[in-house]
Amino acid sequence: MSRRPWLVTGGAGFIGANFTLYARQVLGQPVVVVDKLTYAGNLSSLDPLRGDPDFTFVQGDIGDAALLADLLRTHRPAAMVHFAAESHVDRSLLGPRDFIDTNIVGTFTLLEAARQYQQTLPPEGHAVFRFLHVSTDEVYGSLAPDAAAFHEHTPYAPNSPYSASKAASDHLVRAWHHSYGLPVLTTNCSNNYGPLQFPEKLIPLMLCKALAGEALPVYGDGQNVRDWLYVLDHCKGIARVLSQGQLGETYCIGGCNEQTNLSVVETLCQLLDARRPRADGLSYRQQLQFVADRPGHDRRYAIDASRMRQELGWQPEETFSSGLAKTVDWYLANETWLQRVQSGAYRQWLQTQYGDQ
C-alpha cells in the first residue's frame, strides 16, 4: 500500500460502507475494514471494491483484543474510524445486551488496542495517528419544540438503551484522550439517509413496505421531529474532521433540516407516486397507518452544525428533496440488494461469493 491505511470498523454497515467507498473511490485512501457482519453488515455493499489491492476486508469483532492487536501490527493504520455499533433503537428496547457488549465494551477494547498501538509508533507516527469515534445526536436526549438545537456543549441526557450505550462510548473516548493522551476526535451526527441503509430504519423500511403494498406504520401522531442528513454529506464531514479537527474535540454534524416523521413518509410517497405509480393509480399515501408509539420516543432532535461550518468549512451539499430523490432512485435501481439483505439466502450467498474471507 502506498499510504498507511485507515482502519474502518463497521465498514460493511450503512454509513461505514458509504464512508469506505468514498475513502477509496474519491480520496484514494487505502482502507482496511473490520466488521463482524451482524444482520446489519452487508458485504455486498462493498462489492465495487472487490479486487482492489488497497482494500482489505476482515470479518471480526471489535471486542476481540487479539484480532485488533494483530490487525494494527500488520496494517499500521494512520487512523482508526470507528463506526461499528448496534444502531437500532427498537432492537435496543427489545434486547439491550448486544448494545452494551459492542457499543461500550467493544469501544473500550478498541481504545485499549489503539493506545497500545500508539505506543509502538515512532514520534513522526504519533503526529499523524488519529482515532475518530462516530456517534449520534441521540446522546443529548429529547428537545422541546421551541428549544435551541443541540450543540457541542449540550449536556448528555440519553433516553434509550441505544443512546445510553453510545453516550457511554463517547465518555470512554473522551477519557482515553484526557487520561492517556490518545489522539481522539468525536462526531455526533443527526439521522442519516441514503443508499445502502438496512431496511429496518425509517426511510428504506417505508420504501420496502410501500413497494410490497403493505401498510406504512408511523409511530404515534407522526409528529416526532428529526434532523436528516444525506449519508455522503456525513462521510465528507467525517473526513474533514479527521484531517482538520482539533484532537480531543467534539463536532456536531447535521443537515439543518428538521422534518416530522409524517412529512418524511409523505414526501417519500410523492416521490414513489411519480417514479413507480401504483397499479390502481392511487397514491402510496393510502398505505399510511398510525401505530402505537415507541416507548420513551424522543420528541425532537435538532443539530446546530455551526462549528463544522465555521471552523472546518463543511456544510451539507444535498437538500432534503435532492437527497431523498437520489435515495429513492438508488433503492428502485437496487432491488436485488434489498432482497438479498433481507433474505436468509444472503448468508449462503456470502459464503459462496467470498469463501472464508
CB-facing half-sphere around the CA of 85: CA atoms within 13 A: 27
* Nearest residue (beta carbon) to ligand NAD: 13
Nine-digit cell at 94?
A: 427489545
Integer Cα distance of 223 and 105 in angstroms: 35
Which residues are the active-site residues? 137-138, 162
Is 62 among the residues that bind ligand NAD (CB under 6 A)? yes
Using CB under 6 A as the binding rule, whether residue 121 contacts ligand NAD is answered as no
CB atoms within 10 A of CB 112: 17
Residue 154 is which amino acid?
A: T
Total residues binding ligand NAD (CB under 6 A): 31
Name the one range near ligand NAD by CB under 6 A: 56-64, 143-151, 263-271, 315-323: 56-64
192 binds ligand NAD (CB under 6 A): yes
Rule CB under 6 A: choose which of 37, 58, 100, 338 binds ligand NAD.
37
The least distance separating ligand NAD from the CB of residue 134, rounded to whole angstroms, comes to 4
Strand 288-291 to strand 250-253: parallel, antiparallel, or no bridges (unpaired)? unpaired
DSSP string, 76-114: --SEEEE--S---HHHHHH-THHHIIIIIIIHHHHHHHH
- Which is closer to ligand NAD, CB of 105 or CB of 121? 105
Are 318 and 230 in contact by the 8 Å Cβ rule? The answer is yes
87 binds ligand NAD (CB under 6 A): yes
Contact 229, 257 (CB under 8 A): yes
What pairing do the DSSP bridges indicate for beta strands 31-35 and 55-59?
A: parallel
Residues 5, 6, 14, 30: which binds ligand NAD (CB under 6 A)? 14
Q: How far is the CB of 182 from ligand NAD (least distance, A)?
A: 18
Q: Provide the grid cell at 251.
A: 463536532
Considering the complex, what minimum distance in angstroms separates the CB of residue 180 from ligand NAD? 22
Which grid coordinates belong to 313? 468549512
> Where in 150-189 is the site for ligand NAD (CB under 6 A)?
166, 189
Candidate residues 5, 10, 255, 316; the one interacting with ligand NAD per rule CB under 6 A: 10
User: Does 227 contact ligand NAD by CB under 6 A?
Assistant: no
Q: How far is the CB of 116 from ligand NAD (least distance, A)?
A: 18
Shortest Å distance, C-beta 200 to ligand NAD: 9
Helix (H/G/I), strand (E/B), else coil: 228: strand
Q: Do 115 and 176 touch, CB atoms closer than 8 A?
A: yes
Q: Is 84 in the site for ligand NAD (CB under 6 A)?
A: yes
C-alpha torsion 194→197→202→206, nearest 10 = 90
Smaller CB distance to ligand NAD: residue 134 or 164?
134
In the complex, the smallest distance separating the C-beta of residue 39 from ligand NAD, rounded to whole angstroms, is 8
Residues near ligand NAD, by CB under 6 A: 9-10, 12-16, 35-38, 40-41, 61-63, 83-87, 102, 106, 134-136, 166, 189, 191-192, 198
